[in-house]
Structure 1
Amino acid sequence: MKRFRFILLVAAFGLLALIAHAAEKNPPPVNLVFYTPAEDASGAIRALINRFNAENQKIQVEHRTLSWSSDDCRNFYVSAFSARDNSFDVFSADIIWVSEFASAGWIEPLDSFFSVEERKFFLPGPIEGCTYQNQIWAVPWFTDSGVLFYRSDLLDQPPRTWAELVAVAQEKIAAGEVEYGYVFPGNQYEGLVCHGLELIWSNGGRILDGERVAINTPQATSALKILVKMLDLGLAPADVLWYQEEDARLFYQDGRALFLRNWPYAWALMNKEGSRIRGKFKMAPLPKGPQGTVGSGCLGGWNLMINRQSRYKEAAWQFIKYLTSFEAQKFHAMVGGRLPTRISVYQDEEVQNVNPYYPELLPHFLASKPRPVSPYYPALSEIMQVNFHRALSGLISAEEAIANIEREMKKLYPN
């Protein structure tokens, strides 16, 4: 009996050893959680994640989405990081969050993963935006710049100035060719700040001059009046005060307006089957103001970061490498309409066939300006959001809005 028990014990240990060996040879996959804002209708992100999961046995990714609003996304991340949340690993982040998240110690520095040589394959502007205190904290996923969409079936050329845009819009509305002249994201959120800055820059204004607040100028006031005028004249629908990007895109796609301010991603979506303006619109740089010399888009874009609390940083990096590879960015450019950050994607013939505006507008994208680079940027943005929106709503004048912004900003920059 003892011998029999001994044999059973040896067999049990042998079986456990075999199981352990098999587990060592075929460990369970690492399960990553990846957060992004709500995905657009193209489904490009989901398709790329599905492809990654199908091709990888060692890493599997669960995709979770947040709000379309960048403000809502930031609030979610800040709350999670403050609680040292390790329930997610990789996330996409607005270009304006790098310095804030890095200085707070919330994200993993990527210098050991993302070599200087590899960074040379990316556009220099987005790489600069991912760099803080001489360290790289994110990988540029896609870049962005505000642009003007215009109905090419109704116009031969886009307007070069905001005054020309207003005049043409009034003419086409009077002729009954369109219902509205201009639609834009006018909700009280980050998108309104981007467009407000574009108007100010296009009119020769600025926000900060080093550490000095420089917004309260005739250029900034008259720039804000351009948007106020759009609403006062009925050129823009009153509902734009609640519109974000997708609201504005869907309104324009329905064929009801002559001009749209949005990001280039809208090109592919508005050219899909079922769109009432498919093949009837083009994209152009934003117009210039009466006191400006050139229109300027606001530099946008989203980067990929690793949560410092993640337990799977190496796997997270492998996933980021995949999403920012040439093939993945090419797919995203052709299907999702996103502007790639790898220079070589712009030179790809298939990509240009789908996005024919790439060669023409690339200089405009490269010349776009970033929002104020400041550790106080969230506060600066909130100040502008509130006052821009109150001016558009008719609650205060443009002069009052700009003066309020100056006063509140000087609490952060007293010089």
Structure 2
Amino acid sequence: MATHRRGLSRRTVLGASAGAAAALGLAACGGGSDDAGGSDSGGAAADFSERGPITLAKGKDTTGKLQEFLDAWNTDHPDEKVTLVELPESSDEQRSNLLNNAQAKSDAYTVLGLDVVWTAEFAANQWVVELPKDKFPLDTLIPSTVETATYFDKLYGVPFMTNAQLLFSRKDLLEAAGYTEAPKTFDEMYQIIEKVKGANPDQLGYGGQFSKYEGLTCAVTGIVKSAGGELFDDQGKPHADSKQAIAGLQTLRNGFDQDYIPQEALTYKEEESRQAFQDGRLVFLTNWPYVFEKFQADDGSSQVKDKVLVSLVPAVTGDGVSTLGGLNFGISAFAKNKGTAVDFIAYMVAEERQKEWAIATAQPTAAESVYEDADVIAQFPFFPQLKDAIDKGVSRPQVVKYGDVTQAIQENAYSCISGSTEAKAAMTDLQKTLTEVAGK
């Protein structure tokens, strides 16, 4: 998927697998059953007349801002209060919790915080209800974000956040090495690292999310796309063994083999890689925008304050491509007070709160106006670049049996970058597994 994420078409969904599904968001396959589970909703229209207290179940809020939004809602709606149910920080554990709740047909969770690649599973199994489009300001949201919440042309979620990764560079080290701009390709980046390390052998080069979890799926999806390849085409057919896909993975392997990427990066997730860059140990880092505020901290916790250059992620050839993330709000099919839930979601995605969230958290929201807002840009000058990264980004495979797919990507890619398997063999094995999963 090239410029924008697309909605889940009938061909893409059915091409992945007929019947039971397992999906996964931002971390590795979390032990949930691939059993369809089903629901007792039978596809009937949801009852949005019920009102009363509800819960919001989502991953741990590390911003501190979410509770402010909930407090404001609760003050204005004393009989329809929202209680935050914080799920674990790990996305595989989040999915496991949501899956267990759905299979138990529990009403404990009302509004669900869903990763953008969970739509197919939750909608196909009727674990979330179709939403009334006219109740939400969909025309103010980035169209591609709305498509991530759409299944068979029906709305099953409303986008709250989107996300794209960026390249963070140590501009002081670049300047010392004779460079004024961030690298546009991996080859350029590796050349700069070699020059920087020549003057300081202890300086580490490039960091990203290379541990065996969902972050590695994001890394591989983006780099394969930037090499001119794709893991799946629009028909749901895998192409992991194409020469372009192999070249993408080989680029990462080269980085490890030549010490441009340190071996410790094999354990990096978002926070480990962020900390290494923030401590001044890395020249370059690919990560999500939330890290920028931490880099600019003036409490002594950051060694890179005012030393960070922000740009698009590097490419193998052509433009750098970020794998996209994001969070959609859905409503559990088993919840009470769905009418209140609809109004609460509309409240959360209103433009004024989208702007407030972006300014407070540095996290990219789904509202288009945020990326042109003078107040936002004054605080985060890279937001126009971030919108460019979102527009050029690529989705992770939008397939129903996503859990099996992401696990296969992680296992084969990690085997390669850790030195156990060569790139061609790893991608050949991956192609075989994806073909079996997709039924192609």
- The TM-score bracket by the shorter chain reads 0.7 to 0.9
The farther-off stretch of 268-277 and 89-98 is: 268-277
Q: Distance in 2 between matches of 1:271 and 1:329?
A: 22
The farther-off stretch of 52-61 and 216-225 is: 52-61
Give the corresponding residue for 1:359.
384
Q: Distance in 2 between matches of 1:177 and 1:91?
A: 48
CA contact (8 A) 1:81 1:106 kept: yes
Select which of 147, 161, 171 maps to 1:152.
171
Give the corresponding residue for 1:374.
399
Give the corresponding residue for 1:163.
187
Aligned-residue offset at 1:232: 2.4
Give the corresponding residue for 2:57.
35
Give the corresponding residue for 2:78.
57
User: Aligned pair in 2 of structure 1 residues 46, 174: CA closer, same or farther (>3 Å)?
Assistant: farther
What is the SS of the residue equivalent to 1:216?
A: coil
1:402 aligned onto 2:427: yes
The one-letter code of the counterpart of 2:173 is L
CA contact (8 A) 1:161 1:287 kept: yes
Q: CA RMSD in A?
A: 1.8
1:127 aligned onto 2:146: yes
Q: Deviations over 1:118-152 (max 9, x none)?
A: 31111001011111111111110110112211112
Summarize the alignment of residues 12-411 of structure 1 with structure 2, pairs less than 5 Å apart: 30-40=52-62, 42-111=63-132, 114=135, 118-155=137-174, 156-176=180-200, 179-209=203-233, 210-274=235-299, 275-289=302-316, 292-411=317-436
What is the SS of the residue equivalent to 1:71?
A: helix
The one-letter code of the counterpart of 2:312 is P
Aligned-residue offset at 1:161: 0.9
Unaligned runs of 5+ in 1: 1-28
CA contact (8 A) 1:93 1:305 kept: yes
What is the SS of the residue equivalent to 2:229?
A: coil
Aligned-residue offset at 1:83: 1.1
Aligned-residue offset at 1:178: 6.5
CA contact (8 A) 1:269 1:337 kept: no
Q: Distance in 2 between matches of 1:387 and 1:199?
A: 15
Q: Distance in 1 between matches of 2:152 and 2:159?
A: 17
Q: Deviations over 1:366-388 (max 9, x none)?
A: 12111222212221111101111
What is the SS of the residue equivalent to 2:68?
A: helix
Unaligned runs of 5+ in 2: 1-50, 175-179
Q: Deviations over 1:295-314 (max 9, x none)?
A: 11112111111111110111
Aligned-residue offset at 1:95: 0.4
Q: Distance in 2 between matches of 1:372 and 1:296?
A: 15
Identity score, percent: 26
User: Aligned pair in 2 of structure 1 residues 37, 389: CA closer, same or farther (>3 Å)?
Assistant: same
CA contact (8 A) 1:90 1:316 kept: yes
**TM-score, length-normalised on structure 2?**
0.83
CA contact (8 A) 2:169 2:283 kept: yes
Q: Distance in 2 between matches of 1:99 and 1:135?
A: 11
What is the SS of the residue equivalent to 1:273?
A: coil
Aligned-residue offset at 1:50: 2.9
Aligned-residue offset at 1:273: 2.2
Aligned-residue offset at 1:107: 0.4
What is the SS of the residue equivalent to 1:399?
A: helix
CA contact (8 A) 2:164 2:386 kept: no
**TM-score, length-normalised on structure 1?**
0.87
Aligned-residue offset at 1:38: 2.2
Aligned-residue offset at 1:183: 1.0
